[in-house]
Structure 1
Amino acid sequence: MFKIIYIISFLMSCLLFYLCNDMTQTLNINSEFGVVGGNGNPGLIPWIFLFPFFGFFVYGTFKYSTLTLTKLAKAKKIMIITGSSVLSFIILVNVYNQASELRKRIVEVSPSYTKESELSLLNFWSNSIFFNFFTFFLVILLTILFSAGIAMLKSSVPRAG
């Protein structure tokens, strides 16, 4: 039963990231009104309904990866920790750079903003940067990284008995 719920949660989490990405507002420049935007961030609405599935998906990924990684040798755990750390860092830097570039572009074209610091990195124009395949993969990588650390701790602690 846990596997079925996990698979459903995985699929719903994929749907969550797809919907958030798909609901990204385009940065339209209209000479009469300036930058055309919206009221709020519709890309965050799916989180209201699908967050429980996402939470269960992260929990299930942590559980399965911890069980798997506990059985591996220490050298393999270190390789997994190193690999997931490097890939996570690359994705994080890429996402931050994309969001910063978009923020600069918004400030250039919008009369509503005079400084980049007035505009948050997560806004309704940047959903596609924060909710895509790579950030979904980042969630999985960070979960595996955390579970590998837990597996390392479990294997280094002597068992009583």
Structure 2
Amino acid sequence: MKYFYSILYILCIAISISIFLLTNIMTEPLKGGGGNGNPGLFFILMLYPFLLIFVYWTVLLLYKWMNIHLNTNKITILTTFSSVLTLFILISTINKAINFREEIVRASPTFNNINEVSLFNTFSNSIFFNCYTFLMLLLLCLSIAGFAVVFSRLKKKNREPNF
């Protein structure tokens, strides 16, 4: 059964990477683009369960690995670093999307002002689904696992009687 879960996890990794790649590839070009719907989201919607399994098992594996191999100080440093890096990637992605909205308004005759363009649209898939945001997802898993290990150790430490 352990081999089955390993193969399933590897399959989930491959599908999750392909979700990000295919959504990035399916981004409509700004010139001559437009249309009915967002075809890049098809892969996310259809393969979303594999992405959820990937995130869940990644957090679980990182939790077990950190709990066994790292002390609390190293986990705290690693969790802080990964949280800061996750926040940095998130803020830079949102800033890039906001700036791209202005470019869409300038290039497309359909839109008159920036408020008509949403952050997540057919032109901005490549901003939200790329290698950096996949790295952000992995760092987020690392942060969640790190917080869980630290809090479980603190809870365990507070339960032990002091004699």
TM-score normalized with structure 2 length: 0.89
Counterpart CA distance in 2 for 1:95 and 1:122 is 11
Aligned residue runs from structure 1 range 80-159, under 5 A: 80-158=78-156
- Unaligned segments of structure 2, at least 5 residues: none
* Residue identity matched to 2:10: I
- In terms of mean alpha carbon deviation, does 53-62 or 87-96 score higher? 87-96
* Residue identity matched to 2:153: S
Q: Is the 8 A contact 2:31 2:107 kept in 1?
A: no
SS at structure 2 position matched to 1:25: coil
Q: Is the 8 A contact 1:13 1:53 kept in 2?
A: yes
Counterpart of 1:7?
A: 10
Q: CA deviation digits over 1:72-98, x for unaligned, max 9?
A: 211111111111012112211221121
Cα RMSD over matched residues? 1.5
- Unaligned segments of structure 1, at least 5 residues: 30-35
1:63 correspondence with 2:60: yes
Counterpart of 1:33?
A: none
- In terms of mean alpha carbon deviation, does 63-72 or 6-15 score higher? 63-72
Displacement, 1:109? Answer: 2.1
* Count of aligned pairs between the two proteins: 155
Q: Is the 8 A contact 1:40 1:124 kept in 2?
A: yes
TM-score normalized with structure 1 length: 0.90
4+ residue segments displaced more than 6 Å: none
Counterpart CA distance in 1 for 2:26 and 2:142 is 29
Q: Is the 8 A contact 1:25 1:37 kept in 2?
A: yes
SS at structure 2 position matched to 1:42: coil
Which of 27, 41, 47 is matched with 1:24 structurally?
27
Percent of counterpart pairs with the same letter? 37
Q: Is the 8 A contact 1:70 1:154 kept in 2?
A: no
Counterpart CA distance in 2 for 1:111 and 1:28 is 11
Counterpart CA distance in 1 for 2:131 and 2:45 is 20
Displacement, 1:119? Answer: 1.0
